């Protein structure tokens, strides 16, 4: 179960590819209480971990609210520390001793969005006045690592920064980061030239992964670890797949409910599926679905479809305009990273023996590095 709560839609950065429209809205105590009730009520019929993420905008602009809402979660009658995981995703420009101490004491997972070294970070992720953000974000990464241990980093790559991914991983590694999530900008135009570069770049990432592992310093790199996990488990499990609007929701400051945070936009668009005060519209999935077959014909006939993210509704929507229609870029990217992950697996298993047992239960290295 995954719930993203928009503490605010304000942000001090103006990242050019951001899919959330910046507004002055913040979540009230009343809406937060109703949203948390919605979370526990919706999760009751699922015997699963509940992941609650504080989101934005930049949620740490409203640190006081985030603290209060966290307390609302932990004091809820249905709260169980064994069942609830709380996280916050920040742009890395706001971090203090008080924030670090609170995150540590509360056991909140801290994620930082950073696209890479200064020349990459500053290309798209700038302050409202146009000033670069890299120096401040790098300080936050170092301080968070010192206070919290292994925080996770999410780096967005675009057609113009795809070639920088190996250097980006090197950069994070030098800063002590060992959990690296790499996410393509699905809203970008991925032309044939960019798609053609995927095998070369993904293989370079695979080589880095192998080298770190052989040195006894394994790094969790999402592109590689996620696919090795899926390969070992012979495909995506039902709970791995997108269940937006069923077991995945995003809630805006006004209490509007969306099937995924990437579909919120300005918070008032026609992808809204309900409100925490009025409930969910059961007909929402009829919107933005391509008529006829559920997915592309080539997907239905593909031999690796069970290992592919063709099920990701928001990625499909961002790239093809339909929840159930896979784009050419996603298809090529998935096939390419599968080949790279399988090569990495074979090399390391051959040279080091069985090293991926934890992946069989979907843990990958994110819980061990």
> Domains of the chain by range and CATH?
1-369 (3.20.20.70)
* Mean per-residue pLDDT, 239-264: 89
CA-closest candidate to residue 179, choices 100, 109, 237, 253: 109
Band (288; pLDDT cuts 50, 70, 90): low
CB 137 within 8 A of CB 114: yes
Q: Could you tell me whether strands 152-157 and 109-113 are parallel, antiparallel, or unpaired per DSSP bridges?
A: parallel
3-state secondary structure of 327: coil
Supply the mean pLDDT for the chain.
91
Q: Please check the confidence at residue 12 and state whether its pLDDT lies above 60.
A: yes
Encode burial over 45-70: b for 16+ CB neighbours within 10 A, e otherwise. Answer: eeeeebbbbbbbbbbbbbbebbeebb
pLDDT score for 239: 77
Band (142; pLDDT cuts 50, 70, 90): very high
* Mean per-residue pLDDT, 183-212: 96
CB 344 within 8 A of CB 214: no
Q: Please check the confidence at residue 290 and state whether its pLDDT lies above 60.
A: no
Q: Please check the confidence at residue 271 and state whether its pLDDT lies above 90.
A: no
- 319-344 pLDDT per residue, tens: 888 888 889 999 999 999 999 999 99
pLDDT score for 201: 98
- 86-134 pLDDT per residue, tens: 999 999 999 999 999 999 999 999 999 999 999 999 999 999 999 999 9
Q: Please check the confidence at residue 39 and state whether its pLDDT lies above 70.
A: yes
Report DSSP letters for 227-238, one per residue: HHHHHHTTS--T
Band (3; pLDDT cuts 50, 70, 90): very high
Separation CA 176–CA 181 (nearest Å):
14
Question: Could you count the other beta carbons within 10 Å of the beta carbon of residue 352?
Answer: 12
Band (291; pLDDT cuts 50, 70, 90): low
CA-based radius of gyration for the chain: 20
Please list, in sequence order, all residues whose beta carbon lies within 8 angstroms of the beta carbon of residue 334, skipping any fewer than 6 positions away.
304, 307, 308, 309, 310
Band (359; pLDDT cuts 50, 70, 90): confident
Band (294; pLDDT cuts 50, 70, 90): low
CB 202 within 8 A of CB 337: yes
Band (266; pLDDT cuts 50, 70, 90): confident
């Amino acid at each position: 179960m995954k719930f993203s709560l928009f503490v605010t839609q304000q942000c001090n950065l103006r990242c050019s590819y951001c899919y959330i429209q910046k507004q002055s809205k913040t979540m009230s105590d009343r809406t937060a209480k109703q949203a948390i009730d919605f979370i526990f009520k919706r999760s009751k019929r699922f015997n699963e971990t509940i992941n609650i993420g504080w989101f934005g905008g930049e949620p740490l602009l409203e640190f006081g609210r985030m603290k209060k809402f966290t307390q609302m979660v932990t004091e809820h009658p249905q709260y169980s520390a064994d069942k609830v995981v709380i996280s916050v995703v920040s742009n890395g420009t706001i971090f203090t001793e008080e924030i670090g101490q609170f995150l540590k004491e509360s056991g909140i997972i801290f994620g930082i969005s950073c696209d890479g070294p200064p020349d990459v970070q500053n290309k798209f992720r700038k302050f409202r006045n146009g000033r670069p953000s890299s120096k401040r974000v790098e300080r936050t990464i170092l301080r968070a690592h010192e206070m919290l241990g292994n925080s996770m980093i999410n780096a967005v790559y675009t057609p113009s920064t795809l070639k920088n991914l190996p250097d980006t991983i090197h950069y994070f590694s030098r800063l002590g980061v060992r959990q690296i999530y790499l996410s393509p900008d699905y809203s970008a135009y991925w032309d044939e030239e960019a798609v053609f570069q995927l095998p070369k770049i993904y293989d370079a990432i695979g080589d880095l992964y192998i080298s770190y592992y052989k040195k006894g310093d394994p790094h969790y790199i999402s592109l590689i670890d996620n696919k090795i996990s899926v390969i070992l488990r012979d495909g995506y499990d039902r709970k791995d797949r997108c269940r937006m609007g069923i077991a995945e929701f995003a809630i805006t400051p006004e209490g509007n409910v969306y099937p995924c945070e990437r579909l919120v936009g300005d918070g008032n668009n026609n992808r809204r599926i309900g409100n925490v005060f009025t409930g969910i519209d059961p007909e929402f999935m009829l919107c933005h679905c391509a008529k006829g077959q559920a997915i592309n014909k080539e997907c239905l006939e593909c031999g690796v479809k069970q290992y592919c993210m063709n099920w990701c509704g928001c990625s499909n929507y961002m790239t093809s305009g339909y929840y159930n229609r896979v784009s050419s870029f996603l298809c090529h990217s998935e096939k390419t990273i599968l080949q790279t992950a399988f090569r990495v697996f074979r090399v390391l298993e051959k040279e080091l023996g069985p090293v991926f047992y934890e992946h069989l239960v979907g843990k990958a290295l994110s819980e061990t590095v």
